Amino acid sequence: MKTKTNMGNAFNSKKYLEKVLEEIKERSEKTKGKLYVEINWKLLEDDFAQRIFPWYDAENKKKVIVTLKNELEIFLCANASWIIENYPITKKQIPYTQHLEHTLKRIETITSIKPHLVITNINPEEMYDIIYNFEIRFQKKWYKVWENYVKKGFPMNKTTLLSENGFWNDDHIPVMKKIVFITGIWDNSWKLATAIGQIYQDHEIGMESSFACFQTLPISELSPEDPINQAWEKRRATEKAVQDEWGETVWDCIQESFEIIKDLLWEVVEDDNIIKGYTKASDMIICPTFEAIENMEEIKKLAEKEIEELNKQ
């Protein structure tokens, strides 16, 4: 990879960090209850963005957390099915539960915030004893562990989901701070369902909470075919960059999340909730990446090189 000295100042990492913090604080101030922020991709670093954007600081997310730590809590979501199956999920073939434990420790060590562990998708009729024993193991290490259950009919069965048989059946996690970052272990961690459930239960006890997503890519101002967005799409493999009816680029999963939130929560939350102000998927997203780019041509060259490397794999 080229060194920073011969690439020009193509990306303003300081500006990126300032804009992220500004947008999070702005949404937090407009929220009466808690602001739940879903983190797309890795929580603590972003080595891929560092390869595409010269001068991008791979520790930007960590710096956001450290800056906000006095007003921030963290949820780490883990799918009960993956806990039981315990498949290797990393390049080093580390089993799911071992990776989960390592991630909890790493978050706590780096940020000084002890995360909540949220076990999602629990089927109490088939797996409860195993999951209960797993929870005890982490409670003995002083982690707060919470349970979210299988959501039959998610996200279509609105009547059941918004009832005591749906989100109300989950643990309602007491949040002391204003902002909650929600991250997960591997795919299908049910981060979104966790956020929706918290917002619904908060509302039921008279607290108006809201939602946002924090991510670095894709860049909504560029087309899905742009090399920068294409490089990230090839990296993700399971997700696709799509263009919405306003001509903005988002992940297909974010577009789906927007539709789910709109369907499940718009009739629940109050009119002044910022969720009601989201008219399209990109409105939910905190992603000032485009504003921090100072040499688009140079970055597109690096993205094209990244695509070439990924195609060889």
**What average pLDDT does the structure give for the chain?**
91
Contact criterion met (CB below 8 Å) for 106 and 45? no
Higher pLDDT residue, 233 or 295? 295
How far, in Å, CA of 96 to CA of 5, rounded?
A: 39
Sketch out the chain's domains with CATH numbers: 17-312 (3.10.630.10)
pLDDT score for 238: 66
Contact criterion met (CB below 8 Å) for 54 and 10? yes
Looking up tokens 């090189």, which residue turns up? 305
pLDDT score for 2: 39
What would the pLDDT profile of 104-157 be if each residue is shown by its tens digit? 999 999 999 999 999 999 998 888 899 999 999 999 999 999 999 999 889 999
Percent share of the chain, pLDDT over 90: 71
What would the pLDDT profile of 32-41 be if each residue is shown by its tens digit? 999 999 997 6
| pLDDT band with cut points at 50, 70 and 90 for residue 28 | very high
pLDDT score for 103: 94
pLDDT score for 151: 92
pLDDT score for 41: 67
| pLDDT band with cut points at 50, 70 and 90 for residue 3 | very low
The mean pLDDT of 4-9, rounded to a whole number, is 52
Phi-psi region of 212 (alpha: psi -120 to 50; beta: other; left: phi over 0): beta
